[in-house]
Chains A and B, each alone.
Chain A
Amino acid sequence: MSTAVVDPMRSVVYEVQRIRKETSDTFTLELHSTNGSNDFPFAAGQFNMLYVFGVGEIPISISGDPSKHRSLIHTTRAVGLVTGAMRQLKRGDSIGVRGPFGSHWPVEHATGYDVVIVAGGLGLAPVRPALYHILHHREKYGNVVLLYGSRTPNDILFRREVEKWRARLDVDVHVTVDRAIHPWRGNVGVVTRMIPKAPFDPLNTVAFICGPEIMMRFTVLELQKRGVTTDKIFISMERNMKCAVGFCGHCQWGPNFVCKDGPVFDYASVKHFFEKREI
């Protein structure tokens, strides 16, 4: 009966293999296992609990390519203590990892549909694995659209990669910034402004949205205006999380635990409280 279940609260030690500075406050860590078994299967949209020795543990989405199990990639913005300490890590330093946890972007269910990905700011990191997946299986999808909004041109995440996608003929990539800085010549304005003109068939579209809650709220409205139904809209939520396995209770959001029922939700099932305050 008592098959030795691994303790879900216990971290496994990984090592920082590479650090890439993405923007002034955002960085990507590539982690390798220290016990040689470099295999970390995960689904696009899932996250890990990352532990910095002596400081604490926080949820961070996996931002790498799900088809590549070899290394584990996370993109983090330094906003506070743990993320700040994480930014100080150097190659070879240890970090604790638990995961992967949570629900994922329904990339399988989206086959045959147009896919529109709307990302705001750092929200590009958690959807990047979905985009990787879709691009790997490009033939299975209809139109693929990435609408990405960033605060300023300097905050654009994965800049070179975004440019590469933009250069592809099989994806529509549109980037906008809230505030232009010289020499930005692209769109200026909120990301939702790009929705009305985006090339997808609303009745046949699956949407993945990731970004600040307020941005997701308006994105949903715009998508609905175009006729995308709520059951085909997916959002990724953030809540305080201490355990990521449903024991700590912190991440409750309505009837859901963001850690296990989310972070990715289909909008239809949460819409009746998504708009309410302080849920």
Chain B
Amino acid sequence: MPIGWTDEQDGGTYRLKERDDEALFGYQVGPHSWKKYLHPPRRRLWQAEMRDNHMVIVDDEPDYPRYAFFGVRSCELNAITIQDTVFTSGPYVDIGYRERRKQAFIVVVNCVEAGGTCFCASMNTGPQAEQGFDLALTELLDPNQHYFVVDIGSKAGAAIIKQVPHQQAQEQEHMAAQQAVAQAARQMGRTLDTRDIKMLLYNKYEHPRWDEVARRCLSCTNCTLVCPTCFCVSIEEQTDLNGQTAERWQRWDSCFTADFSYIHGGSVRSSASSRYRQWLTHKLASWIDQFGTSGCVGCGRCITWCPVGIDLTEEVRALRDGEPRIGVAIPTLDAV
């Protein structure tokens, strides 16, 4: 975004606004996350051809662009790390992802202001980036000085810094950076109480709140598509007209569509409430079982970009409110 502009975010609204300082990074996360580069919306997996009635698999020439991501926020860096786990930590590896990721150069910008839908502080994913970057900048706008405090996170980062004019940061500049980031943490527009969140959700499979939120939810998929950690895809078959070649295309998918859970005879999750429940429970609970972390980094995109402003922090609060405050939740055996 150009200098002099910022954004204002709330549930279902995002507005550009002028600002009257010189800040270069005076805005919060926008509509797109870095996901679209590392895990592109559409991608051909492979092709097959029919030659003399025999199928031949044709590999695509691998083409892995080298990316430098400039201005990655801490929440987003955490989201990248989460996707790393999804795609590269198990017995199977998404090779395309791994190759793009391996070459990515990441410059983080620590947030010194928080947006209306941000809650990374609750999720422990920001506003300060801890690791996994090549460089991390903190922008400081003193009345008499506009400068960046840079943390170097890798050799490649150090090599770059060598090439730009810089000076060793003073203790007091460090402090200023810390304070600015801490200030952002205090400003967060949203909070999410993550205490025992996994069991909270596992115990709420049958809560009336799901039906309430389903009355508002459009099943439009926006929340999943803007989310920097959501990774679900579908694979489509494409053929040419004379049936000689077929291509397998992977594209982003969403648990809010009917086809997503289709098995012969119908969708497993045919109601909007079950889809919202799947999404939220996956993000905040089952993700922990699957990958060892939360699936949410608190970037707030799903709140801002939900066309009707559904807010997961509010939903969690509502689910919690019905919950007795004491006692340990265990997996219910109350199943009929």
Contacts and interface: CB of A to CB of B under 8 A. Distances in A.
Do A and B come into direct contact in the complex, CB within 8 Å? yes
Contact of B268 (A5, A92, A239, A271): A239
B289 A275 contact: no
Nearest to A247: B94
B152 interface: no
Contacts of B46: 7, 9-11
Contact of A53 (B246, B263, B332): B246
A242 B249 CA distance: 11
B206 interface: yes
Interface in A99-157: none
Contacts of B248: 9, 57
Interface in A207-256: 238-240, 242-243, 245-250, 252, 254-255
Interface string B251-268: 001010001111110001
Given A239-B268, A272-B335, A255 B253 contact: no
Q: Tell me what chain B mostly uses at the interface: helix, strand, loop, or mixed.
A: mixed
A8 interface: yes
Nearest to A81: B237
Contact of B55 (A9, A53, A245): A53
A54 interface: yes
A17 to B, nearest CB: 14
Contacts of B56: 13
Nearest to A261: B290
Q: Tell me what chain A mostly uses at the interface: helix, strand, loop, or mixed.
A: loop
Interface stretch (B84-92, B166-174, B320-328): B84-92
Contacts of A9: 45-46, 94, 248, 250
B255 A249 contact: yes
B93 A5 contact: yes
Contact of A248 (B98, B235, B274, B289): B235
A178 interface: no
B263 A238 contact: yes
A274 interface: yes
Among A13, A274, A275, A279, residue most surrounded by chain B Cβ atoms (within 10 Å):
A279
A246 to B, nearest CB: 6
Given A240-B262, A250-B232, A276-B205, A55 B335 contact: no
A274 B336 CA distance: 10
B160 interface: no
Nearest to A274: B335
A164 to B, nearest CB: 30
A277 interface: yes
B243 interface: yes
A253 to B, nearest CB: 8
Contact of A55 (B93, B99, B237): B237
B253 A278 contact: no
Among A7, A247, A255, residue most surrounded by chain B Cβ atoms (within 10 Å):
A247
Contacts of A250: 232, 234, 253, 260-261
A8 B93 contact: yes
Contacts of A96: 48, 55, 57
B102 interface: yes
Among B55, B261, B336, residue most surrounded by chain A Cβ atoms (within 10 Å):
B55
A27 interface: no
A55 B335 CA distance: 40
Given A53-B48, A79-B264, A242-B233, A249 B57 contact: no
B110 interface: no
A256 B86 CA distance: 13
Contacts of A189: none
Interface stretch (B71-79, B143-151, B278-286): B278-286
A273 interface: yes
B49 to A, nearest CB: 9
A248 B336 CA distance: 31
A236 to B, nearest CB: 14
Nearest to B240: A54
Interface string A55-79: 1110000000000000000000001
A170 interface: no
Among A7, A250, A271, residue most surrounded by chain B Cβ atoms (within 10 Å):
A250
Contact of B45 (A10, A93, A257): A10
B239 A54 contact: yes
A247 B93 CA distance: 9
Given A275-B335, A276-B206, A252 B55 contact: no
Contacts of B234: 242, 248, 250
B172 to A, nearest CB: 41
B95 interface: yes
Contact of B286 (A10, A56, A79, A254): A254
B263 A275 contact: no
A94 B55 contact: yes
Nearest to B56: A13
B285 A8 contact: no
A255 B269 CA distance: 15
Contacts of A88: none
Interface of A: 2, 5, 7-13, 34, 51, 53-57, 79-80, 92-96, 238-240, 242-243, 245-250, 252, 254-255, 257, 260, 271-279
15 contacts: A2-B102, A11-B57, A53-B48, A53-B50, A54-B243, A94-B55, A96-B57, A247-B231, A249-B253, A250-B261, A255-B289, A255-B290, A275-B335, A278-B271, A279-B268
